[in-house]
């Protein structure tokens, strides 16, 4: 007799997801070193919106997009944050702020580039502060 509730074998995680998660850990470590307070990681807002990191520095709430590449031959990671991604991050940020009990006085969108991979030694980490403003259709009303 075959047992009807057999477990599925876990498939190994794809390499690009491992690289992305590793990059997020590197970015988080760098932000903590700079004095940021990490509020949340990999926040799912709604069905399709995700924020990689949400941090606070002083009175500013910072929404961080982390882009990881194995090397720069594939292009600068910051170039991957185009208008559509900015709009998605803006929508997610507005939804995140609406859930807060007290909205922050200032918000900012940062991009962190991580170039390297887990087995390569020290990665190159670049922090681009205030990478883009809140996209057009979204406005914050307190």
How far is it, in rounded angstroms, from Cα 12 to Cα 9? 9
- pLDDT, position 138: 57
**Which letter, b or e, does each residue of 33-58 get, where b requires 16 or more Cβ atoms within 10 Å of its Cβ?**
eeebebeebebebeeebebbbbbebe
Predicted confidence at residue 46, as pLDDT, reads: 81
pTM assigned to the model: 0.83
Q: CA-CA distance, 55 to 127, in Å (whole number)?
A: 13
Q: For domain 15-128, which CATH number applies: 3.40.47.10, 3.40.50.150, 3.30.1300.10, 3.40.1350.10?
A: 3.40.1350.10
Which regions in the chain score pLDDT beneath 50? 1
Give CA angle at 25 (74, 91), nearest 5°.
75
pLDDT of residue 125: 92
pLDDT in tens, 17-47: 777 888 899 999 999 999 999 999 999 888 8
Residues 63/90, Cβ–Cβ less than 8 Å: no
Q: How far is CA 126 from the centre of its chain?
A: 14
For the chain, give every domain's residue range. Answer: 15-128
């Amino acid at each position: 007799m075959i047992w009807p509730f057999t477990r599925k074998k876990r498939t190994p995680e794809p390499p690009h997801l491992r690289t992305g998660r590793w990059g997020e850990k590197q970015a988080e470590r760098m932000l903590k070193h700079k004095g940021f307070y990490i509020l949340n990681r990999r926040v799912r807002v709604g069905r399709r919106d995700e924020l990689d990191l949400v941090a606070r520095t002083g009175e500013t709430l910072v929404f961080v997009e982390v882009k990881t590449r194995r090397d720069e031959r594939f292009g600068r990671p910051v170039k991957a944050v185009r208008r559509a991604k900015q709009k998605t991050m803006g929508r997610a940020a507005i939804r995140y702020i609406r859930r807060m009990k007290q909205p922050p006085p200032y918000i900012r969108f940062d991009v962190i580039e991580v170039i390297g991979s887990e087995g390569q030694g020290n990665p190159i980490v670049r922090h681009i502060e205030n990478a883009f403003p809140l996209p057009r259709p979204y406005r914050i009303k307190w």
